[in-house]
Structure 1
Amino acid sequence: MSRSCPPPPKNWPNHVQYLTVPRFHTSISTNALSFLKGSSIDGVSLPPAPRSLGAIRLIIDPSHPAHGQRGLFAAKKIPARTLIIEYIGEVHSEMRPTSNYDISLHRFPMKARFVNDYRGIQPKPNAEFADRRTTGGDLRMGIWSLAEGIRKGDEIVVSYGKAWWMARSLS
């Protein structure tokens, strides 16, 4: 029985594959796969975030560092410490220097890919990456609002971290 994937959200780029669950690349070792897809139920429950928390928009402000690209914006007020969205993609164990959408949680690279770094946009991030185990034991990465919450219409921004910027400057 095949599962049908819901259609991509509004403003999803045609050239980017839309995923709703992680896909595990063949480069993942059996031990790493076991760690990522743990069988423990002692972890934190990570419910799926409602699709309505973030909306993809084209960035038209010429002073924005990602002008002409896309960002994720709060579709409604997001309370403090709320799961905004899971960060889902292909999980792999090899370096992918050609991708800016690659995150280091055993390489979790959906809509979360449009969350930009706060630098040049806002004085500080209003969200953060945090990894949690689901009740089924899977290790997942999510984007969570910080203590102040996020106002409707604000761009959801995180800190990519110094290592991301250093690696980018070397390429």
Structure 2
Amino acid sequence: MSSQEHKMKIWNLIKDMKIGMLATRHDNDLRARPMYLVQDDYDGTLWFFTDLDAEKVFELEEDNDVCVSFADPHEHIYVSMTGVGRVIRDTTLIESLWNPFVAEWFPQGKDSPNVGLLEIKVTKGEHWDMDTSRMVSAYRQTQGAAGEVPTQGEHEKFGTTQ
């Protein structure tokens, strides 16, 4: 996917956001829903808990291409990651990733037969870090007024096709 250094950069951008919008395909439609990130680090794979009877599980059986996007509008950080998703039931991994937030969604506990994990192997993506302090915003407006294309902060693509 990308270098270890870049993976750390991506992790530093998304680790505090926790909620990503997962998009899957349902027939000819794209559907997105919020998902809670449950891991403590990032190595090119994203992990989310899921109910094994959820519609997204069946959608992944038909088409496992997914997109997960994260946004922090207060910090002006946006990340979009594309990859391949699959659902697994690994009790050791479930045990290691279980947390009180997830427990709220699964009242029968981590041993419930419906508890599964959504694994997303990220293949590519891009991120934007738009520093919009007042001074930077004023400078960008001045650039635009002068007919120059204002800078938009940092934008970088990563992965298999850049």
Please give the range of the TM-score, normalised by the shorter of the 2 chains: under 0.3
TM-score, normalised by the number of residues in structure 1: 0.26
TM-score (norm 2): 0.27
Q: Which has the higher contact order (CA 8 A, sep 6+)?
A: 1
